[in-house]
């Protein structure tokens, strides 16, 4: 599995498409409702998936663990939402923490971790 | 040579950009392209701080809050231009003269002007702000501004020879070479 993280609008999906020769149809984008399509070659918007988990009271790391055979060769994309001021609302705080824990878990399992900065890829792992 | 610098607030971007522009200029002409339109005392104090910071460095200041490419004709285009900042330029282009509605062509114009500076200037250093990594759902105007600024950042990062990220005064090189 290859993990790509980076701030908003930094070119994460575009990079994934070019590096892994993906088309739009290969990418499942989490919109904050329902399960991701675990069979997709690329799952993007994991921060939205984490928000949905918080709202439904489930642990995103546990959900990912339960499906690990399905994403072990996938490309996963998460927005870096971790550098701002502590958010005011309790839900936003829980969201940020859940997404952060998910990223740390996925990074530990990943073959490669890439961080996007202004459209440029930097290898973290 | 062209250099793009971004990073968080107060991370030392402006000061690094000044040192960088000085070095690129050698003994040649160097221009500080001032982009901020001050709106209150806080802005004016900030400008005074920046002016004091670069005193004695031999920069000629060009006030270009919009149409950044005009700096090339206001100075000698073969010189070294320090553009600080992309963030302010976009804001000025989006809301000219106190406009309430954002000008939707602003980002494209801004990017074209900046790329022209990158192409035609002897040397250029661009400073932007990295505002993309917090967990806040912004209103549509702010979100639009973030998306537009990021699109300009990506275009500049692709065009420039060197791309640097600053954090607490420390440099990460994302592209090209850098050494002080």
CA distance B31 to B18: 10
Token output for B53: 């910071």
Q: Which residues of B touch A92 (CB under 8 A)?
A: 135-136
User: Are the beta carbons of B133 and A99 separated by less than 8 Å?
Assistant: no
Residue A8 lies in domain = 2-123
| Average pLDDT for B25-35 | 95
Asked if this assembly's ipTM is beyond 0.85, the reply is no
**Is residue B85 reached through a cis peptide bond, with omega within 30 degrees of 0 on the bond before it?**
yes
pLDDT in tens, B85-95: 999 999 999 98
DSSP string, chain A: -EEEEESTTSSHHHHHHHHTT--GGGEEE--SSS---TTSSEEE-HHHHHHHHHHHT--HHHHHHHTHHHHTT-EEEEE---SSSPPSSHHHHHHHHHHHHHHHHHHHH-SEEEEEETTEEEE--
- Disruptive mutation site among B7, B111, B115, B135 for chain A (greatest number of A CBs within 10 Å): B135
Q: Where are the alpha helices (DSSP H) in B5-159?
A: 13-25, 41-53, 71-74, 86-94, 106-120, 140-159
pLDDT tens for A39-71 read 999 999 999 999 999 999 999 999 999 999 999
- For chain A, list residues with pLDDT below 50: none
In this structure, what CATH number is given to the domain that contains residue A104?
Answer: 3.40.50.300
Residue B163, token pair as written in the block: 């791309």
Residue B28's SS3 state is: coil
B92 in Cβ contact with B65 (< 8 Å): yes
pLDDT at A18: 98
Q: Using DSSP, state whether B11 is helix, strand or coil.
A: coil
The C-alpha atoms of residue B50 and residue B95 are separated, in whole angstroms, by: 24
Domains in chain B (CATH in brackets) are: 2-164 (3.40.50.300)
Here the tokens at position B122 are 């002897």
DSSP assigned state of B116: H
Q: Within 10 A of B67 (CB to CB), how many other CB atoms are there?
A: 13
- A120: which chain B residues are within 8 Å (Cβ-Cβ)? 157, 163, 174-175
pLDDT of residue B53: 82
Sequence-separated (6 or more) residues with CB below 8 Å from residue B19: B180
Whether B30 contacts B146, CB under 8 Å: no
Q: How far is A123 from chain B (nearest CA, A)?
A: 10
Q: Do A119 and B154 touch (CB under 8 A)?
A: yes
pLDDT recorded at residue A89: 85
**pLDDT tens column, B116-133:** 999 999 999 999 999 999
- Name chain B contacts of A117, Cβ cutoff 8 Å: 6, 130, 157, 163, 165, 174
Best of A117, A120, A122 to substitute, by most chain B Cβ atoms within 10 angstroms, is A117
**A119/B158 Cβ within 8 A:** yes
Taking CB atoms within 8 Å and a gap of at least 24, the contacts of B102-110 are B102/B141, B102/B144, B102/B145, B106/B148, B107/B148, B107/B149, B107/B151, B107/B152, B109/B67, B110/B68, B110/B86, B110/B148, B110/B152
Nearest chain B Cα distance for residue A56, angstroms: 19
At A37, list the tokens: 């399509």
Nearest by CB to residue B150, choosing from A10, A81, A95, is A10
Per residue in B43-57, pLDDT (tens digit) is 898 888 888 888 889
Domain count, chain A: 1
Residues of A (56-75) whose Cβ lies below 8 Å from B: none
Q: With beta carbons less than 8 A apart as the criterion, state whether B85 and B52 touch.
A: no
Q: Which helix (H) or strand (E) holds B62?
A: strand B60-63
Closest to B140 measured CA to CA, from B178, B89, B179, B102: B102
Query: Residues of B at the A interface (Cβ-Cβ below 8 Å)?
Result: 4, 6, 8, 128, 130, 132-136, 146-147, 150-151, 153-154, 156-158, 163, 165, 172, 174-175
Hey, are the CB atoms on A83 and B163 less than 8 Å from each other?
Answer: no
Tokens of B149: 């600024």
């Amino acid at each position: 599995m290859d993990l790509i993280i980076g701030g908003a609008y930094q070119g994460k999906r575009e990079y994934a498409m070019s590096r892994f020769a993906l088309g739009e149809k290969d990418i499942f984008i989490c919109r904050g409702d329902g399960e991701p399509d675990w069979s997709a070659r690329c799952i993007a918007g994991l921060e939205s998936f984490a928000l949905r988990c918080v709202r439904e009271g489930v642990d995103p790391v546990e959900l990912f663990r339960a499906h690990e055979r399905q994403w072990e060769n996938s490309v996963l994309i998460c927005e870096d939402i971790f550098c701002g001021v502590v958010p005011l609302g309790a839900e936003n705080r829980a969201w940020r923490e859940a997404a952060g824990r998910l990223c740390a878990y996925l990074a530990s399992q990943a073959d490669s971790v890439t961080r996007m900065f202004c459209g440029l890829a930097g290898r973290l792992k | 040579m062209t250099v793009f610098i971004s990073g968080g607030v107060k991370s030392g971007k402006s000061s690094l950009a000044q040192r960088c522009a000085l070095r690129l200029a050698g003994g040649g002409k160097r221009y500080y392209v001032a982009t901020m339109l001050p709106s209150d005392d806080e802005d004016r104090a900030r400008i005074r701080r920046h002016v004091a910071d670069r005193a004695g460095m031999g920069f000629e200041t060009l006030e270009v809050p919009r149409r950044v490419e005009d700096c090339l004709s206001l100075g000698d285009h073969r010189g070294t231009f320090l553009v600080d900042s992309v963030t302010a330029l976009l804001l000025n282009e989006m809301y000219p003269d106190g406009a309430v509605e954002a000008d939707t062509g602003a980002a494209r114009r801004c990017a074209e002007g900046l790329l022209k500076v990158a192409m035609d200037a002897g040397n250029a250093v661009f400073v932007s702000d990295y505002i993309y990594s917090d967990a806040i759902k912004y209103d549509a105007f702010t979100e639009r501004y973030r998306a537009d600024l990021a699109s300009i950042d990506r275009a500049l990062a692709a065009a420039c020879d060197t791309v640097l990220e600053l954090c607490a005064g420390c440099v990460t090189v994302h592209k090209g070479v850098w050494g002080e």
